Chain A
Amino acid sequence: MHLKSRHVWGWLQAAPLAVVLLAFLIAPIIMIVIVSFWGATEFSIYPAFQFDNYEFLFGSQVTYRVFGATLKYAFITWALTLLIGFTVAYFLAFHVRSLTMQIALFLVCTIPFWTSNIIRMISWIPFLGRNGIANQTLISWGVIDEPLEWLLYSDFSVILAFVHLYTLFMVVPIFNTMMRIDKSLLEAARDNGASGLQTLVHVILPLTKPGIMIGTIFVVTLVMGDFITVRFMSGSQRANVGRLISNDIALLQYPSAAATAVVLLCTVLIVIAILLRFVNIRKEL
């Protein structure tokens, strides 16, 4: 193929994607950056070039606390989803023997991803509520006398929902990487006298790193950008950066929301840039 026409054809075929991303990703980001320097009255926003929004943001204790809470949610959720996701993927890839069974069980793990997050959150209420299944069961077993108050509308329920919603973002890429590990490597390890645990730690774990990285990127960014899970599962009693933004939006304080959004975006991109140093995504698919 001619060199020129290759590039022209490439761009023509990629044009629809490029147009969508330009109009609904790049332009909105630029718009948010611009508006973050604007001013706002109680009812409207007006063009300006002022740093008030950022000054207010960085001058407020709340900001640091909320960013801290966001990172805390991200870290705890990451650790739990990694632990659970790795174990599940390891079981599927190395302990289930027939391919049909592997695919079937893998689908069982992924199907909830194609259903509604909102409903999946709502469905915890009868379980965790004051008179919910968890409390009723624990009381009937005699473990506790009074219903536990911290099951619902707490950090606990927020993180539980995150783990519930996002563990499959770990399972899928880790399973995908594990399935591509050459089984003869495992045999070689065993022939050389490695125990199951040693094979896991010294052979499987290093080879699974790319999958772990991709899962990590998904989980960390989803949790950091979330605003609805925290609001719903904490009964509006906890805050993260996403809620800070959505509260400003509800009050029509768009410039202030935009400034917070810019800082959040920078934080997320820095985290990803660090993670991407460890993996080449395109090669791993």
Chain B
Amino acid sequence: MERRSRSFYGLAVFFALFVLFLYGPILTIGILSFQGPQGGLTFPMNGVSLHWFHDLFQEQAVGDIWGAFRRSFGLGLIVMVTTVVVSVMAGLAFRKRFYGSGLLFYAAITSLVIPSILISLGVGLIFNQLGFKIHWATSGFGSQLTWTLPFGLLIMFAVFNRFDKSYEEAARDQGATAWQTLRHVVLPIIAPSLIGVALFGFTLSYDEFARTLLTAGSYNTLPLEIFGMTTNVTTPVIYALGTLTTVFSFVIIAVFLLVAWMIGKRRARMGSDAGKGV
């Protein structure tokens, strides 16, 4: 193997600094959330304790964060399932190049690049004028989909651009119906990518702020609750909450990645039955 060039080491240092820049601040609040009871928002540490984590479980100290967490988690799951189903269907549709598909595609791109506050404002106005009650499960849900669906769709494009059509042709040649081809050939092949779509659907919803701001109604989701805390909470309890939800996010991401990795492994092991007889 050829020797590493000097630029490699320079770039490696740059990359390491970038990673430090990405993760340094969150590590900092991770450490500071273990402040002693008398400690403040910055270093030095004034003792080490679980005081602020304990505070998270006291209703009066932080408001209804557990209710907010339950809502965010539930909403994340609904958005995740919806995003996967709608994205796959749309991904299949776009392979057919139907009339108006270009228009729909540009609508999806617009959905991605439109300033989030417009969705928040517009949906809020419509619900108000029509006399509907804004609620995280209706207006909030729809608003979040405008953020997660374009990502799901883009992933589906990436998947189907690399999709080998001869698998489908083979299935059809052997007499499979359209539904059977989809169910037993296409879906299993794209399954690992669907884990990716699900990951985007859940995490983007769970952390969504701008599009939910005016559309969540009287019951806040977790990011809204946390943002509310930034204006009136001046103790490390907010770091404890930040640390806890970030750890939760990391766990969720790890689970998704693990599942994707295991599917890949299993496929590598069982993928080909060539030479094994039937």
Q: Which residues of B contact A109 (CB under 8 A)?
A: 18-19, 22
Does B66 reach chain A (CB closer than 8 Å)? no
Does B226 reach chain A (CB closer than 8 Å)? yes
Question: Are B118 and A87 in contact, CB atoms less than 8 angstroms apart?
Answer: no
Q: In the bound complex, how far is the Cα of B153 from the Cα of A131, in angstroms?
A: 46
Shortest CB-to-CB span from A121 to chain B, Å, is 9
Shortest CB-to-CB span from B89 to chain A, Å, is 5
Known: A17-B104, A95-B8. Contact between A118 and B226, CB under 8 A? yes
CB-CB nearest in chain B for A271: B113
Does B105 reach chain A (CB closer than 8 Å)? yes
Question: Which of A6-14, A55-63, A202-210 contacts the other chain?
Answer: A6-14
Q: In the bound complex, how far is the Cα of B41 from the Cα of A34, in angstroms?
A: 46
Does A143 reach chain B (CB closer than 8 Å)? no
Question: Are A257 and B121 in contact, CB atoms less than 8 angstroms apart?
Answer: yes
Q: In the bound complex, how far is the Cα of B115 from the Cα of A29, in angstroms?
A: 11
Question: Are A127 and B122 in contact, CB atoms less than 8 angstroms apart?
Answer: no
Question: Are B117 and A227 in contact, CB atoms less than 8 angstroms apart?
Answer: yes
Question: Are B26 and A120 in contact, CB atoms less than 8 angstroms apart?
Answer: yes
Q: In the bound complex, how far is the Cα of B114 from the Cα of A268, in angstroms?
A: 8
Q: In the bound complex, how far is the Cα of B161 from the Cα of A131, in angstroms?
A: 52
Question: Are A88 and B104 in contact, CB atoms less than 8 angstroms apart?
Answer: no
Does B3 reach chain A (CB closer than 8 Å)? no
Q: Which residues of B contact A258 (CB under 8 A)?
A: 121, 125
Q: Which residues of A contact B218 (CB under 8 A)?
A: none
Interface size on A, residues (CB 8 A): 84
Shortest CB-to-CB span from B100 to chain A, Å, is 8
Q: Which of B11, B121, B146, B214 contacts A21 (CB 8 A)?
A: B146
Question: Are B161 and A285 in contact, CB atoms less than 8 angstroms apart?
Answer: yes
Q: In the bound complex, how far is the Cα of B109 from the Cα of A76, in angstroms?
A: 24
Q: In the bound complex, how far is the Cα of B253 from the Cα of A4, in angstroms?
A: 43
Q: Which residues of A contact B115 (CB under 8 A)?
A: 221, 224-226, 242, 261, 264-265, 268
Q: Which residues of B contact A127 (CB under 8 A)?
A: 24-25, 28
Known: A17-B104, A136-B43. Contact between A28 and B119, CB under 8 A? yes
Q: In the bound complex, how far is the Cα of B249 from the Cα of A119, in angstroms?
A: 11
Does B258 reach chain A (CB closer than 8 Å)? no
Q: Which of B7, B94, B96, B223 contacts A118 (CB 8 A)?
A: B223
Task: For chain A, residues 116 to 170, give those with C-beta under 8 angstroms from any C-beta of chain B.
Answer: 116-120, 122-127, 129, 131-133, 136, 164, 167
Does B142 reach chain A (CB closer than 8 Å)? yes
Question: Are B153 and A17 in contact, CB atoms less than 8 angstroms apart?
Answer: yes
Does B180 reach chain A (CB closer than 8 Å)? no
Does B158 reach chain A (CB closer than 8 Å)? yes
Question: Are B157 and A119 in contact, CB atoms less than 8 angstroms apart?
Answer: no
Does A174 reach chain B (CB closer than 8 Å)? no
Q: Which of B11, B142, B204, B246 contacts A87 (CB 8 A)?
A: B11
Shortest CB-to-CB span from B118 to chain A, Å, is 5
Question: Are B121 and A28 in contact, CB atoms less than 8 angstroms apart?
Answer: yes
Question: Are B94 and A14 in contact, CB atoms less than 8 angstroms apart?
Answer: yes
Task: For chain B, residues 123 to 179, give those with C-beta under 8 angstroms from any C-beta of chain A.
Answer: 123, 125-126, 129, 142-143, 145-146, 149, 153-154, 157-158, 161
Known: A10-B96, A119-B226, A261-B115. Contact between A24 and B121, CB under 8 A? no
Q: List residues of B whose CB falls within 8 A of some A CB.
A: 1, 5, 7-8, 11-12, 14-15, 18-19, 21-26, 28-29, 32, 41-43, 85-87, 89-90, 92-94, 96-101, 104-105, 107-119, 121-123, 125-126, 129, 142-143, 145-146, 149, 153-154, 157-158, 161, 199-200, 203-204, 206-207, 209-210, 214, 223, 226-227, 230, 238-239, 242, 245-246, 249-250, 252-253, 257
Subset of 24 A-B contacts with CB under 8 Å: A7-B98, A11-B93, A13-B90, A14-B94, A31-B122, A32-B122, A87-B14, A88-B14, A91-B12, A91-B14, A91-B15, A95-B12, A111-B253, A116-B207, A116-B209, A126-B29, A133-B28, A164-B21, A196-B5, A228-B210, A228-B227, A245-B117, A245-B121, A282-B157
Give 18 A-B pairs besides A132-B42, A268-B113 with Cβ atoms closer than 8 angstroms.
A7-B98, A12-B93, A17-B87, A17-B89, A21-B108, A24-B123, A24-B145, A25-B110, A28-B125, A90-B11, A91-B15, A116-B242, A117-B223, A119-B246, A217-B113, A221-B113, A225-B116, A265-B115
**CB-based closest 3 A-B pairs:** A28-B122, A225-B115, A10-B98
